[in-house]
Amino acid sequence: MKPSVNTTPMRHQRGFVSIAAVFFVILGVFSILTQTLGMLGHKASDSVQYLEGIKALLIAESGVERSVAIVSGIVAADDTQLNAACDAAKKTNAGVSNQAIQFPSDVPHGSFQYDSSITSAPGTCAVRVTGLYNQAQRTLQTLINVASEIGTAGFGHNIAMRLENNTAVPGVAVFNLAWRRHGSTGNSTSGGQATATRCPLPSCNLEWTLESSSGNPSVGALGTAVNIGAKTGVDVIQTLSEDRNYSEVGMVMPGIAGLPTLVGNFYDSKRTANTANNTVTTGDTSSGEAKGWCAQADTLVFGVSGRGNDNVTGAYASVVFNTNGNPAQPIAMNWIAHYPNTDGSTPGVFGDVFSEIWYTYNPYVMLSGATSKSGETGTINMAASLPNALIKGTILKVYSGTGKFAGSTQVLDTVAAGSTQFKVTATPSTALANATVCGGICALFDNPSSPSSSTTFALTRATDAAQQWAGGFVCLRGVDPSKIRRIARSQAKISQWNEVTSGF
């Protein structure tokens, strides 16, 4: 007998195995697909975070660039204002600290914020700024340095300085050129005594030209004043007759409402050109008010050409005007510029000659009919109302009439025009009776109404390297004291840049 074979169940079993295999394959594909989609999702999320982090970093860099631009703009106008510039560079446009600065509408989720608590070492500006974009943030820290040259120095006969007036009003610049009259240290010279010629600009005015008269080591001084319009610049070129070592500095004085007036000048080879090498040396001037060269002036400028004794540290520590007045009223003038640098960083110089500029400011007034009464300590009564406001701190002196102020008497508080009374910081040493009182540079001269009077000034040297000098004075009227600055070439640059990570 043949065995009975049932084939139908076998066919069903093979079908079941195939369906199960496909099912498990499909499950595997779904699992792999799920993992792949999950991985892609994570990668997409990581990519978004990465891109937002890059945007936050770029936004932080924008904050750094903004700070550099602010610092550059301020120090270009006045290179002495680095600290103020650094403070402004960490605030919003409205002057607010620690507040986020929002990006424009085309970057709606971006902003940056400065950390105003970051302190800066002297001569630098440290800035820390955090850029934010959505949830991402990146922080950068940078150090801004300002490189300034406040004069020009070298060897030759054509001396050029760039004059820039960054204010919105015209001004007057004063330059002092110093040079060796005969041989120059470190350089071979020919010819005789070198003389200087002022710049050829139409507005270039000669203010002084003289030399110290101590033989071969002597130095020359050339003072020039140049008018300059608002927001303009010009190259100022002085010329020497022979190649010599030279140094030049300058200052610019914008006006209160327009171009300041050049009143006059004073220089004299026997009165402002020193020949002795003393720790303190003196010269003298006539009364600028009585003689007219400083009448109705509010600003007095003094240019100095110094013999450096082949030592770059040569400089003057102070210039004091009216050192022996009656009454005593020494006026410490303000140093504004010295060149070359006393640290030896100026290339191509040998310390045998240097240039400086000093100045002082005092608001001008001339008041008649001034009277002081006993029992009214420090009070001055006027016969007529004040024509203009009387500014606090203005130094006063009796110009004529009966009475005398103590030395360095000043207006106690600002008084508006129209008043008939004001207070001063000291009771007059002799009561005033119908006296005429002056302020301005008039008040700084000794016995200012006398054409025969003289006023002594003194220079104190900072080191023994500073020897003889030559110089001159120039007076101006209508200067805005808040805008006075030295002439400088300044540039802000980043000297350090790094990203700050969390916790650091």
**Beta-carbon contacts of residue 198 (< 8 Å; ≥ 6 apart):** 204, 205, 206, 209, 222, 224, 238
Structure tokens belonging to residue 384: 């007529």
The series of mean pLDDT values per 10 residues for the chain, 504 residues long, is: 47 51 50 56 69 90 91 83 90 84 74 90 91 91 87 96 93 97 92 92 96 79 97 95 97 96 96 90 96 98 94 96 94 97 93 97 97 83 93 97 95 96 94 96 97 97 92 98 91 84 56
Last residue of a domain, one of 438, 460, 475: 438
Strand blocks (E) in 330-483: 331-332, 334-339, 353-361, 366-371, 379-382, 397-404, 421-423, 430-438, 454-461, 469-477
Q: Is residue 44 part of a domain?
A: no
Q: Are 296 and 288 in contact (CB under 8 A)?
A: no
Please tell me whether residue 338 adopts helix, strand or coil conformation.
strand
Q: Are 303 and 176 in contact (CB under 8 A)?
A: yes
Residues 378 and 433 in one domain: yes
336 closest CA partner among 359, 320, 354, 363: 359
Dihedral sign (CA 373, 377, 379, 380): positive
Residues 357 and 370 in one domain: no
Q: Is residue 49 part of a domain?
A: no
Per-residue model confidence (pLDDT) at position 215: 62
Residues 298 and 156 in one domain: yes
Q: Is residue 39 part of a domain?
A: no
Residues 209 and 348 in one domain: yes
Q: Is residue 495 part of a domain?
A: yes
Q: Determine the distance from the C-alpha atom of residue 175 to the mean position of all C-alpha atoms in its chain, rounded to a whole number.
A: 17
- Taking the alpha carbons at both ends of the chain, their separation in whole angstroms is 96
Q: Is residue 471 part of a domain?
A: yes
Q: Is residue 235 part of a domain?
A: yes
Residues 115 and 96 in one domain: yes
Per-residue model confidence (pLDDT) at position 435: 97
Residues 246 and 388 in one domain: no
What does the alpha-carbon distance between residue 252 and residue 263 come to, in Å, rounded to a whole number?
16
Tokens 């093979």: give the residue. Answer: 14
What does the alpha-carbon distance between residue 434 and residue 422 come to, in Å, rounded to a whole number?
15
Number of domains in the chain: 3
Per-residue model confidence (pLDDT) at position 301: 98
What does the alpha-carbon distance between residue 96 and residue 186 come to, in Å, rounded to a whole number?
54
pLDDT digit string (tens) for 338-396?
Answer: 999 999 999 999 999 999 999 999 999 999 999 997 767 789 999 999 999 999 999 99
Structure tokens belonging to residue 285: 């001037």
Structure tokens belonging to residue 170: 């015209």
**Beta-carbon contacts of residue 108 (< 8 Å; ≥ 6 apart):** none
What does the alpha-carbon distance between residue 219 and residue 230 come to, in Å, rounded to a whole number?
34
Residues 122 and 190 in one domain: no
**Domain containing residue 374:** 366-438
Residues 199 and 282 in one domain: yes
Residues 161 and 309 in one domain: yes
Per-residue model confidence (pLDDT) at position 31: 58
Structure tokens belonging to residue 321: 């005007």
Q: Is residue 34 part of a domain?
A: no
Residues 163 and 214 in one domain: yes
Q: What is the CATH number of the domain that holds 132?
A: 3.10.450
Residues 289 and 231 in one domain: yes
Q: Is residue 387 part of a domain?
A: yes
Residues 321 and 241 in one domain: yes
